[in-house]
Structure 1
């Protein structure tokens, strides 16, 4: 069985056996606070263990880094941009899942020296599998995908600014209102990236760059014809030094969004420099 089919089958099995039976059925004791504004569930942990074992059995000899394992041992991320690495986000959109609402998803990426080689994004509710291979395009359920704009009068932009300080968030949104139609964020990267390819959103902004949140999605959008960069305009990569992510369904939509969101008045590029 080809690698993309083996990984897809593994993800679907874990979603069917671990995730979906507990959707809207979690006990209070199965939900815990991970950090400020972040929760973790028994599903995150059990799904990650199953995915870890399944990927290890494929025999590629790659390091395997899951979100929950890295939460327990941050040293796992040392050298994440070196060599061959599997990245696992066992349950993206955990707060949505724990609240009994969509969207949520599962993501796996294979990365080599910081560049994503292949990525998988599963929507467990409808079974849709988004997949991309570097240099070979993007597909959904086997059908080729080309990113398209929403067609809205102003680009639809989902701005993940909830981790910014309130005054900084206000600056970014004030700039965005000049030329973008700001829409609610799904709080789920596994939904945000496919929305860019399917004409639902035109632009997505993220502050945090945890590798499992972006490796699969950034490749998917890029292979579909979109553009994904750090806030300084450098290409997004696993282990990159830049901060933040600006993604768009096409290069011209990226340019239009960058004109307002990456303008000095928004303060994002300044924050990027300070973090360097």
Structure 2
């Protein structure tokens, strides 16, 4: 497979953080080690320690790139300014924190390298299974080093994972009315780092997201598109780091994306 010069050091860093921080804290967190940043938005001591270690390592690997981490942005939102300008690492130290804090799977460590708003490379590590999904722009998508191509899994009606928590109530109701007989709703893993691989491997055909925070989507969007799928905003604009607006549809193929958009949005 094509090997990016950063593959080995980035994956080694992620696995070290998984081994030293994320897994030792899994199912051992005390109540005082789980905090709420906002309604339903949790952070743990492991998120913060993971981001600190990842940030230090990434700055060493590529000093000319700044690091934009989820927890750093929570403390200083201005770090997002100019995210689509220059070279930047986008870091989600633990994606699926709600699962992690509850002591359940899935959760993931995610990193993307972005240049002027275009994702160049992305890595998604499942620490428990040690499964690595990664992609490089123009060079395909890989799971544990093996090239992968998105394959729609349903033979009857396409399946869809709907992330409803942040979806406006009126849109949620409208979509619920449109689904019967057209799409089959499937479980949401509460972890973008698991949802994107599920689309590629055929466990889900389609996913709808409302929020489009860069650390949630930059690695997975590249992984999906390099595998032959499509992700775009409701109006068809391609996903781009730093792009404005809410709402994303991800699908295992461009044809499924068109079908989903017609059903969901009309």
TM-score by shorter chain over 0.5 = yes
Consecutive unaligned residues in structure 2, runs of 5 or more: none
CA distance in 1, matches of 2:80, 2:35: 23
Q: 2:25 matched to 1:16?
A: no
**Aligned equivalents of 2:179, 2:237: Cα separation in 1:** 21
> Per-residue deviation at 1:60?
4.3
Mapping of residues 94-243 of structure 1, within 5 Å: 94-243=97-246
CA distance in 1, matches of 2:40, 2:155: 32
Structure 1, unmatched stretches of 5+, are 264-276
Cα distance in 1 for residues equivalent to 2:43 and 2:173 = 29
1:114 to partner: Cα distance: 0.6
**What's the CA shift for 1:221?**
0.3
- Determine the C-alpha separation between the residues in 2 that align with 1:44 and 1:59: 22
CA RMSD of aligned residues (A): 1.1
| 1:19-38 equivalent positions in 2, closer than 5 A | 19-38=22-41
Does 2:44 correspond to 1:41? yes
Matched, 1:256 2:259: yes
Shift of 1:152: 3.6
Normalised TM-score (structure 2):
0.96
Structure 1 runs (4+) greater than 4 angstroms displaced: none
Matches of 1:256 and 1:228, distance apart in 2: 13
SS at match of 2:61: coil
Structure 2 partner of 1:271: none
| Separation (CA, whole Å) in 1 of partners of 2:263 and 2:129 | 35
CA distance in 1, matches of 2:213, 2:57: 22
The Cα of 1:154 is off from its aligned counterpart by 0.6
